[in-house]
Amino acid sequence: MGDEQKTKILILDDEPIVLNRLKPALEKSGYNVEAFSRSLEASNRIMEQDFDIVITDLKMEGLDGMEFLTQVKERSPLTEVIVITGFATMETAKESFKKGVFDFLAKPFKLGEIKEVVAKAESKIRGNR
Amino acid sequence: MRILVAVDQHPYSAHVVKDVAKLAGNTWADVTLVGVGPKMTYIGQPSNKAEKKHPLTKALRNYRRNFLDYFEKEESPYEKRACNYEFVEVKRGVWEELYICRGAMKDLKIVLRSGNPVKEILAQSQEDDSDLIAMGCYKSGDCQWEGAVNIPQKVANNAACSVLVIKKEKKIRKIACCLDQENISQKSIEMINQMVTLYQTELEIVGLTDGTALKPMVEKNLDAILKYYNARQIKAWIKLVDVASMASFISQEARRSMMALWMGEHSLLSKMFPRGKVDKLIRGSESSVLLLR
């Protein structure tokens, strides 16, 4: 499958160790993945290009993940957003869903768990097309 | 996150379910409540008959109800959704109208197993691919588990994932976290983060020293961890403890703090703190104990 046909995923997490684990795993599953550790760069990127799926951390230095989520949904309402967070609270979970996230995953999680969620999001996107 | 809650009929299990509900409220984890008891001798009996025939079924159902009661129905990720006919793309370009029951966003299941409690709890954890096993124990003395002793210790020693042994009704004010700074795993830091958020505690990061100056790499690691927490507005500090006095430090600290020990495969702590000492720690600790992997 050409890169243009692949499901496009953007990952934003300020912990490089998370990106180093997640990006190759999702690429291996056949996705076209771009990873960012700085929220400003990710924010600029979503202005240039629509992504099918965005995976974002919440608690980051600089632009907060919740603000980023809002930006993504405003720019591209059909993008499915998956929140991953190391400091989960009931409030952030509720707020994320109010803002229309596809799923909310607290760290630690296994790669299999996030791959399952990404596959479900992809299936929903295909169903909407 | 996937959490396995191992329960029996002692009151501490109700407390564990309460704490895990709070954790699940934060993390929206997939949760399994597992009980291990005598073999089931019936299939598909109405619920009242099942409760009479098996002592754990009633307890498990009560725990599930208590867990769900923690959430407001409209906002619960465990609430079952309605069933409807929906067109589903079964293969590319082929759509079939199927009767779909949209499940809850997250799984909450109860499982009853029979056999050796330690083996069954570990087997369920493996089947679920759990990130955490939570179980209860009385504040002091042996952990009695449905007639068997020290089940939490045995599970803690043999699990492939992290294990949280929760002591009843003890307010946790501080987590003392012994991470083995040369081999810190990301998973263990992430688990600590969720615990700090859950219990709203301060965090003491315990570093190991052999009495000489710290290696530059170790110092860098500890500094990075501290900065990580400070950037996230968590009150954290570093305490260096000599390797020789680590065991006595842990047993003393366990009286006033929740102890978190990283016992992963390459952990120096797992060598310094063999099974017998883990047993003793869980038995003697007045607070909860978290073994990280």
Is B186 close to A105, i.e. CB distance below 8 A? no
Same domain, B177 and B162: no
Most trustworthy range by pLDDT among A54-68, A69-83, B90-104, B142-156: A69-83
Same domain, B151 and B259: no
Interface test with A, best of B197, B200, B203, B230 (most A CBs within 10 A): B197
Of the given ranges (A98-107, B8-17, B62-71, B203-212), which has the lowest mean pLDDT? B203-212
Same domain, B144 and B220: no
Nearest-CB residue to B1 (from A89, A106, A126) = A106
Same domain, B142 and B178: no
Quote the mean pLDDT of chain A.
90
Domains within chain A, CATH numbers bracketed: 8-128 (3.40.50.2300)
B182: Cα separation from own chain's centroid: 24
User: Is A101 part of the contact surface with chain B (CB cutoff 8 Å)?
Assistant: no
Is B194 close to A107, i.e. CB distance below 8 A? yes
pLDDT for the residue B182: 66
Question: How distant is the Cα of B87 from the closest Cα of chain A, in angstroms?
Answer: 9
Nearest-CB residue to B26 (from A88, A103, A123) = A88
For the segment B206-232, the average pLDDT, to the nearest whole number, is: 79
Residue B99 lies in a domain: no
Same domain, B15 and B68: yes
Is A108 close to B190, i.e. CB distance below 8 A? yes
Asked whether residue B83 carries a pLDDT value surpassing 80, the answer given is: no
- B24, closest residue in chain A (CA to CA): A90
Contacts of B129 in chain A (CB under 8 A): 110, 112-113
> Which of B118, B140, B166 is where one domain is finished?
B166
Asked whether residue B31 carries a pLDDT value surpassing 90, the answer given is: yes
Nearest-CB residue to B194 (from A15, A88, A127) = A88
User: Is B61 part of the contact surface with chain A (CB cutoff 8 Å)?
Assistant: no
Same domain, B279 and B263: yes
Reported as a pLDDT band with limits 50, 70 and 90, residue B274 is confident
Containing domain of residue B137, as a range? Answer: 2-73+107-166
pLDDT for the residue A77: 92
Matching residue, tokens 């550790």 = A37
pLDDT for the residue A9: 97
CATH of the domain at B50: 3.40.50.620
For the segment A9-33, the average pLDDT, to the nearest whole number, is: 93
For the segment B70-77, the average pLDDT, to the nearest whole number, is: 86
A–B interface: beta-carbon pairs under 8 A: 64
Is B28 close to A88, i.e. CB distance below 8 A? yes
Name the B residues in 159-188 with CB < 8 Å from any A CB: 186-187
ipTM of the complex: 0.85
Q: Which of B35, B26, B70 is nearest to B54 (CA)?
A: B35
Is A126 close to B2, i.e. CB distance below 8 A? no
pLDDT (tens digit per residue) in B120-155: 999 999 999 999 999 998 877 777 777 677 899 899
> Which of B166, B187, B205 is where one domain is finished?
B166
Residue B174 lies in a domain: yes
Is B186 close to A94, i.e. CB distance below 8 A? no
User: Is B74 part of the contact surface with chain A (CB cutoff 8 Å)?
Assistant: no
Count structural domains, chain B. Answer: 2
Contacts of B130 in chain A (CB under 8 A): none
Question: How distant is the Cα of B1 from the closest Cα of chain A, in angstroms?
Answer: 5
Same domain, B181 and B244: yes
Reported as a pLDDT band with limits 50, 70 and 90, residue B42 is low
- A60, closest residue in chain B (CA to CA): B232
Residue B87 lies in a domain: no
Residue B83 lies in a domain: no
Asked whether residue B44 carries a pLDDT value surpassing 90, the answer given is: no
The more confident residue out of B252 and B42 is B252
* CB-based contacts of B110, cutoff 8 Å, min separation 6: B32, B33, B34, B35, B60, B61, B63, B64
Tell me how many degrees the CA angle A48-A53-A56 measures, rounded to the nearest 5.
90
pLDDT for the residue B49: 60
pLDDT for the residue A22: 94
Reported as a pLDDT band with limits 50, 70 and 90, residue B264 is confident
Name the B residues in 130-159 with CB < 8 Å from any A CB: 131
Asked whether residue B43 carries a pLDDT value surpassing 60, the answer given is: no
Same domain, B122 and B159: yes
Pairing mode of beta strands B132-137, A103-106? unpaired
Tell me how many degrees the CA angle A111-A116-A120 measures, rounded to the nearest 5.
150
Question: How distant is the Cα of A90 from the closest Cα of chain B, in angstroms?
Answer: 4
pLDDT for the residue B50: 57
- A112, closest residue in chain B (CA to CA): B129
Same domain, B160 and B259: no
